[in-house]
Structure 1
């Protein structure tokens, strides 16, 4: 298991919809452990596989002391909204107010392919929505109102990490196009 580099804004993997997981195998379990270690090292409350360069529909979370993961999630959201600041490990140091659904029901699978239902409100609901957005190639700044988005883009251009790239090792082993 390993802490992996977190991809930053501008990396194309963050804008690419992730592929569904089809193999619930040891590689997936290693990926989930790496995601958890990377998230906790950052530290963060959630991390999606594309944020470490893996274009698969998997995310992990650590909310109120509960650590978990979800594979191939789909969401049902409440109409009731919540206000709150939101940030992202791929946009370090930035945080903006963003409305999200107050409650979320996420359906997916665990690391063994068994069905899982994750229900939550407030921070857990926000986290599940944020991480599922990552799996769809959407960043939280895409959901900001136009004025806030303009401020965010200015802050990104001025950030010390702007334009940095992450060196990625490539393996000679076939991974069906996935950076596992």
Structure 2
């Protein structure tokens, strides 16, 4: 088994329609094993072969610690739609509110060549529906409008800010610095998530990956400086003898 690289962003490779698996070869079994190891390494709930560059009708799920392989899956029946949060290994950090069936009855092949029907409910139904979208080239940002996506991202930022603990009173100059850093950090994070929808080629995806790392570092730096400044304010010092990196 091996951990495979997961394609990230709105890439042409993820927009392909996947072909059915025509033969249960050793290569198909190895692919299924690799996907299962990869989904566990990514701490994800599910993963499709196409997300690792193999456009065939194969995906894996791991809901409540139960690993399952799905080959040539097709929906036989479905329950009523419900709203819920959804994420994707190809769009790390992005969570959207989407509509999915409450339950699904799915016909699928097994790795030993049998055809069986499985009923899945709740989270597992959402995972299966998500991966069936991948087989058709439908991606997570497609589930919501650009305005709704922006609104959800802004709401997430507001919720995060609302969860922050109360801080010690600081003077106006220090508070202005803290506000500016917090404002810059969340705006860069928001910009990175919105840019993911436009990374349609390999070069842009590489640049976005580099930018994501830099923004993550910026957020970390902002947190470190905030802690240092608040500690400074609490101690009553007007100046610092060392920066937060020591």
TM-score calculated relative to the size of structure 1: 0.83
| Counterpart for residue 70 of structure 1 | 70
| Counterpart for residue 116 of structure 1 | 116
Deviation of 1:111 after TM superposition, in Å, equals 1.6
Structure 2 matches for 1:30-179, cutoff 5 A? 30-149=30-149, 155-158=192-195, 163-165=204-206
| Counterpart for residue 173 of structure 1 | none
Deviation of 1:164 after TM superposition, in Å, equals 2.5
Contact persistence 1:82–1:122 (CA under 8 A): no
Contact persistence 1:77–1:101 (CA under 8 A): no
| Counterpart for residue 6 of structure 1 | 6
The CA distance in 2 between the partners of 1:125 and 1:46, in whole Å, is 11
Range 116-125 or range 88-97, more displaced: 116-125
Q: CA RMSD in A?
A: 1.9
Q: Where in structure 1 do 4 or more consecutive aligned residues deviate above 6 Å?
A: none
Deviation of 1:112 after TM superposition, in Å, equals 2.7
Larger Rg: 2
The CA distance in 1 between the partners of 2:77 and 2:94, in whole Å, is 25
Gaps of 5+ in 1: 166-180
Provide Cα deviations, 1:83-115, integer angstroms capped at 9, x if missing partner. Answer: 110010000000011111101111110123210
Larger helix proportion of the pair: 2
Deviation of 1:146 after TM superposition, in Å, equals 4.8
Deviation of 1:154 after TM superposition, in Å, equals 5.3
The CA distance in 2 between the partners of 1:59 and 1:88, in whole Å, is 13
The CA distance in 2 between the partners of 1:114 and 1:79, in whole Å, is 25
Indicate the structure whose relative CO is greater, using CA pairs within 8 Å and at least 6 residues apart.
Answer: 1
Partner of 2:17, secondary structure, is: coil
Q: How many matched pairs?
A: 163
TM-score calculated relative to the size of structure 2: 0.62
Gaps of 5+ in 2: 154-189, 207-246
Contact persistence 1:49–1:55 (CA under 8 A): yes
Contact persistence 1:87–1:94 (CA under 8 A): yes
Contact persistence 2:10–2:139 (CA under 8 A): no
| Counterpart for residue 175 of structure 1 | none
Provide Cα deviations, 1:144-175, integer angstroms capped at 9, x if missing partner. Answer: 1452245679553456xx6334xxxxxxxxxx
Deviation of 1:60 after TM superposition, in Å, equals 0.2
| Counterpart for residue 171 of structure 1 | none
